[in-house]
Amino acid sequence: MSLENTLAESTIEHETYSSVPDGYRPGKAKFIVVTGSVMSGVGKGTFSGALATLLSCHGLKVSPVKFDGYLNYDAGTLNPYRHGEVFVLEDGTECDLDLGSYERALHANLTKDNYLTAGKIFKMIFDKERTGKYLGRDVQFIPHVTGEIKNFLRELAVKTNADIILVEVGGTVGDLENSYFVEAMRELRYEEGKENVMFINVTYIIEPDSLHEYKSKAAQIGLRQLMALGIQPDVMICRSQTPIPYSIKEKISIFGNVDLDRVYNLYNFSNVYGIPLILRDLGLDNEILSILNISPKGNGNTVLNFENWKGFVDKIKGRNRDIVVGIVGKYTNVHDSYLSIVKALEHSAPYFGVNVRIKWIEATDIEDGKITVEESLLNVDGVIVPGGFGKRGIEGKIAAIKYARERNVPYLGLCYGMQLAVVEFARNVCGLKTAHTTEVNPSTDCPVIDIIPEQKDKLKNSEMGGTMRLGGYPAKLKEGSLVRNLYNKDVVIERHRHRWELNPEFHKTLEENGMSLSGVYEERNLVEFIELPNHKFFIATQAHAEFTSRPLEPNPLFMGFVHVMVNNYVS
Active site (catalytic) residues: 415, 544, 546
Q: List C-alpha distances in Å: 499 to 389, 435, 450, 463.
A: 10, 18, 9, 12
Residues 6+ apart with CB under 8 A from 4: 20, 24, 26
236 Cβ contact partners less than 8 Å away, ≥ 6 residues apart: 200, 201, 203, 223, 252, 253, 256, 258, 262, 263, 264
Sign of the dihedral through C-alpha 511, 517, 521, 527: negative
Closest by Cα among 482, 489, 486 to 538: 482
The three-point CA angle 37-206-231 to 5° equals 20
Q: Are 510 and 430 contacting, i.e. CB atoms less than 8 angstroms apart?
A: yes
Q: What span, in angstroms and rounded, lies between the C-alpha atoms of 171 and 401?
A: 39
β strands within 132-188, DSSP E: 164-169
d(CA 463, CA 461): 5
Q: Return the bridge partners of 33, or none.
A: 167, 199
Residue 362: beta bridge partners? 329
Closest CA to 348 of 374, 371, 382: 382
Neighbours of 296 (CB within 10 A): 14
Q: How many CA atoms lie within 13 A of 177 on its CB side?
A: 13
Give the C-alpha distances (Å, rounded to integers) separating 464 from 402, 418, 457, 469.
Answer: 32, 22, 11, 11
How far apart (Å, rounded) are the C-alpha atoms in residues 551 and 106? 10
Q: Please, which residues have CB within 8 angstroms of residue 30's CB and are 6 or more apart in sequence?
A: 163, 164, 165, 196, 197, 198, 292, 294
Q: Measured at the alpha carbon of residue 324, what is the angle toward residues 528 and 532, in degrees to the nearest 5?
A: 30
Q: Report the candidate in 276, 251, 223, 255 with the shortest Cα–Cα distance to residue 62.
A: 276
Number of H helices and E strands in the chain, helices first, is 21, 21
Q: Which residues pair with 529 in a beta bridge?
A: 519, 541
